[in-house]
Structure formats: structure tokens, C-alpha cells
Structure 1
Amino acid sequence: MKTRRKGDTDIKSQTAPAAVKSKSVVFSKPTVEDGAGMWELVNESTLDQNSAYKYIMMCEFFAETCVVAKEDDKIVGFVTAFIPPERQDVVFVWQIGVHSTQRGKGLASKLLKELVSRPGCKNVEFVEATITPSNEASQALFRRLAKSYDTKCEVKECFSEDLFPEEGHEEELTFRVGPIKH
């Protein structure tokens, strides 16, 4: 039996055949027990890999600004984010992960909308992330987010490629969506 917590949200899979009962994706605030599943999802994808500690730490100290998506109690997506101490009107999205079985279903967009709707983001007016020039999917995601809120998506240089010690790392551009009206 699934344990539901206050604030969990259900969505129905949009691609299930009519004759088959559709599965529910449940959004919730992550717990430290979710950290390993988030790490595993990243390691099965092309996302930038971080240590398992990073995900466990985000679940412990930044759970109010992170969201996990589960189907049958398995993590199928997540967003890790935080509110910079000096900019309380911004939520900075560190990473979004979507399992390969969920790609193309709008889960990343739903995760961002769920994040913005959380109590921890009640004072947030802007959603920011850094994205490399070659990551067209993430760029499109943030432009769609801006369109869904009928607001702007501004792009500016953030970190030049010469700041990164590893060879071949692209520059990071800041995508800033907002102002967002709750």
C-alpha cells in the first residue's frame, strides 16, 4: 500500500491505452531514502553525474525546494533546487532527471510546475538554471515554462568555459524565467 503524505499530487499517464488502467505518477517532497534512487536515475542517463551524497544532502537540507516523481513507488523523475540566501525571490534549479520510460510525456515540465507550487517556493518570482548551449532540450523546457506562465525567459552568460578544469566543458548560460505570479 502506498503511503500518501500531505501535499502529494497525482497525475495520470497521458499515453496509456484506453483499455489499460493508467498508472499514476505521484509528486512528493523527497526524503533521504530517495537520494539513492535519484542518484541511480542520473547514472542511467546522460546527465552530469554527482556523488550519491549530493542527492542525499539535497533531500535532507533542501527538501522544501526539491520534488520527486514516483510511479509504483519507483522514482521516475526529480528536480533538485534551492533558494539562494541572498535572493529569496529565486529558486535555482540544479538538476532535473526523467527516467527514459517517462521522456516525451511532459514530466519535466510538470516537475517544474510542481516545484513552483510548493510552500517552500511561495515567495519565488523567478526560476533560474544554468544550461549549456548544446542542451537544446533543457533550453526548450525553460522557454516552455516561461510561456506557461505568460512571462519572460531571459538568457545571459553565467560561467565561461575557461572556469571549468575539465577539457571540453561548455560555457553555462543562465536561463531566468519570470516574474511568476502564484
Structure 2
Amino acid sequence: MSFAPVTLRRPTDGDGYPLHQLVARCQPLDTNSAYCNLLQCTDFADTAIAAENADGQLVGFISGYRPPSRPDTLFVWQVAVDASLRGQGLALRMLLALTERVAAQGVRFLETTISPDNGASQALFKRAFARLGIDYETRTLFSRAAHFAGQHEDEVLYRAGPFHAPVLPPLSKESLKETA
């Protein structure tokens, strides 16, 4: 299996609208306004990562932020990978690269929420936690009944860590296989 070459980088203001289009192609991700996506690429660029293909097109993106009450934590909000690159390990590569970057800035914990029926995201994050050698715990953070008026699945919090600035060995093709 050959992997398409991608460049991982910090997002810029030019990525806002392409991010909006990427998320729209990545159903069932929740879409936000183009303005929100622009802010993810500017105000939250330090806690986000963009992947572009050889043609300069945005083909992957992870958005996150450091919650003000937990500055030692990266909360991953969304992971988007273009359908043409799924199954090639891009989501894992982005997540590990972003984790390494923020660890150098004092981040020691990784959090995200995942709905119970999203097996692909669960597998991605469990693979990343294993690769980082960190334990994780889960709990329902937002419930279908209490927070979403029955209109959205529960959101289960995954919290992992602590970790230190990782020095990760190169990823093998086998470790890159994923379902997300």
C-alpha cells in the first residue's frame, strides 16, 4: 500500500474556508460557520494542525484548544480527514504531531469527547494513547437527555495522561492503519 504524501503544518488564515469545505465533506462531523473555522485557523492555530496534499489542498485537520481552567490539557474538538486519505494513518499522524507540539508548551493531558457509536474515533484515540504510553479514563460529559434534549448522542469524555514531551519512534505502516 502506498501512502499519499502530505505536509503537516500549523494552520493559517488561508485555511479557514477550505476547512469549512473539508468538514462539510466529512459527515457526520458537525459543521460550524465559516467564520468559526477561520477562528480555528487563527486564534486556535497553536492547538490545531493542518494536512495538505502535494497540490496544496487541505486534506486533514485537527482543531483543539487549551481550556482556560486546565491549561495543561489539549482538548481535541474535531478530527477531519478527506475520504481520499482515510485508512492511511493520517489522523493518527496528525494527532501525534499535534500532541508533540503542545507537549513542548507544557500540555500534559489529552481530552476529547466521542459519542458511543463512533467506533472509528474511539479506535483512533485509543491507538494514540497506546502509542504515547498513557492511560485514559472515560465518563459521560454531556448526556443526550440533560444537554441535547434527546437530539444528539451522549458525548463521552476521554481523558488521558499525563505525558511528557514525547520522543516517538517513526511510525511503521502497520501502526498507521486505522479505521477513521
Q: In which range does the TM-score fall when normalised by the shorter chain?
A: 0.7 to 0.9
Partners of 2:111 and 2:154 lie apart in 1 by 16
Aligned structure 1 segments of 4 or more residues deviating by more than 2 angstroms? 119-122
Partners of 2:103 and 2:15 lie apart in 1 by 19
- Runs (5+) with no aligned partner, structure 2: 166-180
Q: How far did 1:81 drift? A: 0.4
1:10-89 to 2 correspondences below 5 Å: 15-16=1-2, 23-46=4-27, 47-71=29-53, 72-89=55-72
Q: How far did 1:121 drift? A: 5.4
Partners of 2:153 and 2:122 lie apart in 1 by 14
Q: Are 1:116 and 2:102 counterparts?
A: no
Greater share of helix: 2
- Pick one of 143, 148, 151 that aligns with 1:164: 148
Q: How far did 1:120 drift? A: 7.4
Partners of 2:83 and 2:31 lie apart in 1 by 16
Larger Rg: 1
Contact 1:128 1:174 in 2 (8 A): yes
Contact 1:116 1:122 in 2 (8 A): no
Partners of 2:103 and 2:21 lie apart in 1 by 26
CA offset digits 1:94-127 (Å, max 9, x no partner): 1010000110011111111111122575211111
Partners of 2:142 and 2:102 lie apart in 1 by 30
Partners of 2:103 and 2:60 lie apart in 1 by 19
Partners of 2:161 and 2:89 lie apart in 1 by 20
Q: How many residues align?
A: 162
- SS of the residue aligned with 1:117? helix
RMSD between aligned residues? 1.5
Structure possessing the higher relative contact order (Cα contacts under 8 Å, 6 or more residues apart): 2
- Runs (5+) with no aligned partner, structure 1: 1-14, 17-21
Contact 2:73 2:109 in 1 (8 A): yes
Identity %: 39
Partners of 1:137 and 1:25 lie apart in 2 by 21
The residue that corresponds to 2:78 in the other structure is 95
- SS of the residue aligned with 1:118? helix
Greater share of strand: 1
The residue that corresponds to 1:181 in the other structure is 164
- SS of the residue aligned with 2:80? strand
Partners of 2:122 and 2:151 lie apart in 1 by 20
TM-score, normalised by the number of residues in structure 1: 0.84
